[in-house]
Amino acid sequence: MTTLNKAREFLSRWRMTIVDSNRRTPSYPKHITYYQYDDINNMPTHYETEILHTIQIPESALEALVDFYERVEESMKYTGSMDVFNHYIERQNADKAIREKYPTVQKAYDQYMMLYKLAKSGENNARR
């Protein structure tokens, strides 16, 4: 799959649209060696430019994207890798063990899940 196709799939998955691509922004070299320039007047003044995209994203998709990013970061902190799936399963199992150990937590969780499902079904009905 090409990079362009991956970008289109990503945009589609998160319900994003590009609304403006007519602007440009400076494209700085990836590896700038600052020590080469003893004097600010000798620094290069011309850089290449690249397309600047303006993207629209629904708030719910942005929140989901931020949540996903936070999970990846959290997984990397605990495991040292991007193995998000295994970390997520471990977290679910730890949460389940807490709910089994403390019946009050299980009761609160059950009430939360009921309210959550009601809210989700209300959202789905509102979209129709």
Name the band, by pLDDT with cuts 50, 70 and 90, for residue 97.
very high
Q: Which residue has the higher pLDDT, 38 or 115?
A: 115
Q: Contact, 20 vs 55, CB < 8 A?
A: no
Distances from the Cα of 51 to the Cαs of 32, 55, 103, in angstroms? Answer: 21, 12, 56
Q: What is the average pLDDT across 86-107? A: 88
pLDDT tens digits, 15-70: 899 887 788 877 766 554 444 445 555 555 566 778 888 889 999 889 888 888 88
Kindly report the number of other CB atoms within 10 A of residue 87's CB atom. Answer: 19
Name the H helices within 23-102.
Answer: 59-79, 84-101
pLDDT score recorded for residue 126:
65
pLDDT score recorded for residue 35:
46
Helix (H), strand (E) at residue 108: helix 103-127
Mean of pLDDT over the chain: 79
Contacts of 57 (CB under 8 A, 6+ apart): 14, 15, 16, 65
pLDDT score recorded for residue 5:
85
Residue extents of the structural domains in the chain: 3-58, 61-127
The answer to whether residue 82 scores a pLDDT higher than 60 is: yes
Give the separation between CA 16 and CA 57, rounded to whole angstroms: 5
pTM score of the predicted model: 0.45
The answer to whether residue 116 scores a pLDDT higher than 80 is: yes
Q: Contact, 56 vs 16, CB < 8 A?
A: yes
Q: Which residue has the higher pLDDT, 116 or 108?
A: 108
